[in-house]
């Protein structure tokens, strides 16, 4: 079997309302899907992290840089392909967009491997440590509103996430440390104490601001404080982890085993959040997972994008071994985007049905057992939303 074609599909639509995080507001949602065709008619799907113009630039790397390196290769040789591509791109970028582009291709190769074997990806990795996983609802995003309006909307959204069946939820902050504390107080007040609440700063604070907010988060029983400072600020992460009781989470902007090795050795994370569609795909994710566990750092995957990214993450969440083990081991969670996302709801011929499962199964989602990623994108949907 050999690879005959690699195609990127960049999809986009106008959101009904602007969404934002601490770095920007945006009015369009995009997704970057990768399709690999083979001479035997088996097709694999993957996804690259990166919105908008980043996705369009990554399409150039997928089709123009990586495709010529792998045409004619056996798609089952995914580790060989990974190293061939990485070694030839290394001089031009060991992080960021080249790795995002490679991630989508690698995920599609795993999808092909699963289809060839007739097995779900978690079986190729070594089996499922759990048959279902708890999902946490990610919502409560910023909008260009006054702090009081934001707090009122966040209260409503938090309550609706609770009603949807989520037992853990995550909110954004990033409107200034004093207002951010008030925002978290409003949400905690709205949902009560029996729900796990996480706070995501998208690296908007200085270390001293992060300490100010972090101490308030301790009092509000926040489960984790995500990306408090810039991803490059490894010392800041370490100081915060040493000085705060709240769990420090991060890593979505880190790439490859070498980047993760530095991050983990700096001892700044209580919870690692690797992004499989960015750090180098499933092949590299498994090495990063091993490194996290070698440092006894628990993993909760970062999840962003379409139903393809969700499907890949469900396979990986099944494959995370208990750390360190026990009768009632610490368990990972599935990050689930509850904001307007047609690329989750409508992309697949058979939707994943995450929201329905969360509602019916006490916040939990079953690990799919169909071959590969277990998904089939709808070509008409892709054609309708494709911009590049
Ligand atoms: Ca985040």
The whole-number pLDDT of residue 277 equals 98
Q: How high is the pLDDT of residue 346?
A: 98
Ligand 1 centroid – CA 200 distance (Å): 6
Q: What is the pLDDT of residue 187?
A: 98
- Rounded to the nearest angstrom, the distance between the alpha carbon of 94 and the centre of ligand 1 is 21
Non-local CB neighbours of 163 within 8 Å, separated by 6+ positions: none
Q: State the Cα–Cα distance between residues 128 and 138, nearest whole angstrom.
A: 25
CA of 168 to the centre of ligand 1 (A): 15
Q: Provide DSSP, 77-119.
A: -HHHHHHHHHHHHGGG-SSSHHHHHHHHHHHHHHHHHHHHHTS
Q: Please enumerate in sequence order all residues whose Cβ is within 8 A of that of 351, keeping only pairs 6 or more positions apart, or say none.
A: 307, 345
Query: What's residue 253's pLDDT?
Result: 98
| Per-residue model confidence (pLDDT) at position 40 | 98
Active site positions, annotated: 302
Q: Which of 335, 343, 322, 321 is nearest to 365 (CA)?
A: 335
Both tokens assigned to 347: 């992309």
- In this prediction, residue 258 carries a pLDDT of 98
Burial class (CB in 10 A: 0-12, 13-18, 19+), 323: middle
Four-CA torsion 381, 382, 385, 388, nearest 10 degrees? -170
Q: Whole-model pTM?
A: 0.98
Residue 88 · residue 65 · CB < 8 Å: no
Question: Can you give the C-alpha Rg of the chain in angstroms?
Answer: 20
Distance 218 CA to ligand 1 centre (A): 19
Q: Indicate the SS3 state at residue 72.
A: coil
Give pLDDT, residue 122: 98
Tell how far the Cα of 302 is from the centroid of ligand 1, in angstroms. Answer: 7
Closest CA to 55 of 35, 31, 36: 31
Count of C-beta atoms within a 10 Å radius of residue 74: 15
Q: How far does the centroid of ligand 1 lie from the alpha carbon of residue 252, in Å? A: 7
Q: What is the mean pLDDT of each run of 10 residues along the chain (388 residues)?
A: 98 97 97 98 98 97 98 98 98 98 98 98 98 97 97 98 98 98 98 96 98 98 98 98 98 98 98 98 98 98 98 98 93 97 98 98 98 98 97
- Name residues with Cβ closer than 5 Å to ligand 1, which is an ion: 200
Q: Please tell me the distance between residue 250's alpha carbon and the centre of ligand 1 in angstroms.
A: 7
Residues 184, 133: Cα–Cα separation, whole Å: 26
**pLDDT of the residue at 201:** 98
């Amino acid at each position: 079997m050999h690879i005959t074609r690699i195609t990127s599909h960049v999809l986009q639509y106008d959101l009904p309302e602007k969404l934002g995080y601490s770095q920007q507001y945006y009015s369009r949602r995009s997704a970057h899907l990768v399709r690999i065709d083979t001479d035997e008619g088996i097709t694999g799907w993957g996804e690259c992290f990166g919105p908008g113009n980043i996705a369009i630039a990554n399409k150039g790397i997928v089709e123009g840089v990586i495709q010529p390196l792998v045409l004619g290769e056996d798609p089952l040789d995914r580790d060989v392909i990974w190293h061939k591509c990485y070694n030839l791109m290394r001089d031009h970028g060991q992080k960021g967009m080249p790795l995002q582009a490679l991630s989508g291709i690698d995920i599609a190769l795993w999808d092909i491997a699963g289809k060839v074997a007739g097995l779900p990806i978690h079986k190729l990795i070594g089996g499922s440590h759990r048959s279902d996983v708890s999902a946490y609802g990610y919502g409560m995003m910023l909008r260009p509103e006054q702090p009081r309006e934001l707090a009122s909307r966040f209260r409503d959204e938090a309550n609706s996430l609770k009603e949807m069946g989520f037992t853990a939820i995550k909110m954004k902050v990033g409107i200034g440390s004093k207002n951010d504390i008030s925002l978290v107080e409003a949400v905690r007040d709205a949902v009560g104490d029996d729900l796990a609440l996480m706070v995501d700063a998208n690296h908007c604070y200085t270390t001293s601001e992060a300490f100010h907010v972090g101490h308030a988060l301790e009092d509000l029983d926040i489960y984790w404080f995500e990306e408090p400072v810039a991803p490059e600020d490894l010392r800041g992460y370490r100081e915060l982890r040493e000085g705060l009781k709240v769990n420090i989470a991060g890593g979505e902007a880190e790439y490859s085993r070498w980047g993760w090795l530095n991050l983990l050795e700096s001892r700044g994370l209580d919870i690692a959040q690797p992004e499989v569609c960015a750090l180098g795909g499933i092949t590299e994710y498994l090495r990063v997972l091993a490194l996290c566990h070698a440092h006894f750092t628990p993993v909760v995957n970062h999840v962003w994008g379409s139903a393809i990214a969700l499907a890949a993450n469900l396979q990986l969440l099944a494959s995370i071994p208990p750390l360190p083990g026990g009768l009632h081991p610490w368990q990972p969670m599935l990050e689930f985007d509850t904001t307007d996302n047609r690329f989750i709801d409508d992309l697949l011929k058979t939707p994943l049905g995450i929201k329905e499962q969360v509602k019916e199964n006490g916040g939990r989602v079953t690990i799919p057992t169909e071959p590969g990623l277990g998904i089939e994108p709808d070509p008409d949907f892709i054609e309708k939303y494709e911009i590049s």
